[in-house]
Amino acid sequence: MSAIVAFDLGATSGRALLGKLRDKTITVEELHRFPNDPVHVGDRLHWDALRLYHEMKQALLKAKHQGVVPESVAIDSWAVDFGLIGKNGELLGNPYHYRDSHTDGMMEQLFTVVPREELFARTGIQFLPFNTVFQLYALKRADSPLLREAERLLMMPDLFRYFLTGDMHAEFTNATTTQLYNPVADDWDRDLIGRLGFAEDWFVKAVKPGTEAGRLRESVRRELGLPAIPVIAAAEHDTASAVAAIPAAERSFAYLISGTWSLMGTEVPEPVLGDQALRFNFTNEGGVGSTFRLLKNIMGLWLLEECRRDWEKSGLRYGYGELMDMAGNAPAFPSLIDPDDPVFLPAGGMTERIRAYCRQTGQLVPDTPGEIVRCIMESLALKYRLVLEMTEKLSGRAFGGLHMTGGGIKNEWLCQLTANSIGKPVWAGPAEGSGIGNLAVQWMAAGAFRDIWEARAAIRDSFPLRTYEPADRDVWDEAYGRFLRVTGLEHEKWRDGAAG
């Protein structure tokens, strides 16, 4: 039996999973779970990187205490954020959180140096205000001393891997999210980096998923009493790992990774870089097996999580099940929002932001928690339909259903609403998609799986899927038309009568 460990770090929590493989059957046990709470210091919002690293070591100790010495370990995490390493090899400051406000207005300023169309043509990455390129440009515009002292830039999983091994490598799937990597040249875009005033030396060579990128360094071995365990550069962007775990049998499939963020798209052999992809603000991020993830970010369950925080501050503590029950008893479709409106990006005051949006768009203003949650859930499901239609248009494919994975599939009502909205079946599972994909890539590196398709077959046989069939098509068609009008997305004439 092969036993390995996957560190799966999300925007709100981290977990270490112990994966075991016997006769192509995968079992997964949660070794350790820990919070990932950002920290406000003055006006800045940071990740508590050293605390996360400490928790990762605690997980390795828990495995050891169970009598397990992992054959390998690997890390996946969110994208875009990074740590800077100085000449002494130490971390310079606490990494900024992607929701920090220091990137406000940076997109527009950077476009005066590199036009929007050129930046997309070079990188194929969608425009989000917190992308790595805009974070770095914000530091440069602020004349940050961090940049003057920096010798290397490491994305978050690269940083934790460096802490464990002492070796510095970038990893392909996460490097592509920076908007500084050229997917056609398969390398950092040196010309772009120079034009923006960044140092080429910051960017270390990117290795492909499944590469051994070091072994536990001596200081870690002494501290934990462990041998020189290989540390694999898996698909280190958590979405890349989640897509690797999609239990699809067909080569052409659509997926929705549901969690704090929702990410919807398909797997393609080459990046899609045309004008329509730019207009839809889609992204082309690296995947496993020399593929690309043609996808679009959607705000996701962040909206619900922030509302829960608002209610908790008022002394109202609601469980997810309780909120879904209240939402299910609220009227259907009284008010709708565009989940991706920039007003919903910052933390804090989400319930009032939703009310203000509905007020400004001339709709009924949701008042009770049930009404607000219903507004969020129905709006997400309708946005999924729009993005699925866009994905079909860009890829030239028609999908028979939607694979849905991630923690959001535990919300059975959202899965059913999604099936109703898209008018196609939703196949939900597995919930721990990112961690399972991380494990699968490690086993591919060890030769236990020939390729990603053999790994997906094992995942399909090891974890149950639940199918949600669509219902109430006429009701949802009417709601979709109203959603497009209310949100201002009706002007998207990209459909040209071919979809929807």
Provide the 3-class DSSP secondary structure of residue 18. Answer: strand
Sequence-distant (6+) residues with CB within 8 A of 400 are 424, 425
Query: With the CA atoms of 96, 98, 101 and 102 taken in that order, what torsion angle do they form, in degrees rounded to the nearest 10?
Result: 50
Q: Hunting for tokens 């004008």 — which residue is that? A: 275
Catalytic hit among 81, 238, 310, 340 = 238
- Cα(16)–Cα(53) distance, integer angstroms: 12
- Cα(473)–Cα(73) distance, integer angstroms: 46
Beta bridge partners of 84: 153
- Cα(368)–Cα(65) distance, integer angstroms: 48
Sequence-distant (6+) residues with CB within 8 A of 73 are 4, 5, 6, 7, 60, 164, 229, 230, 231, 232, 442
Q: How many angstroms from the chain centroid is the CA of residue 430?
A: 16
In what helix (H) or strand (E) does residue 156 lie, and over which residues does it extend?
A: helix 156-165
Does the annotation mark 341 as catalytic? no
Q: Hunting for tokens 């879904």 — which residue is that? A: 324
Alpha carbon distance, N-terminus to C-terminus of the chain:
49
Residues serving a catalytic function are 238
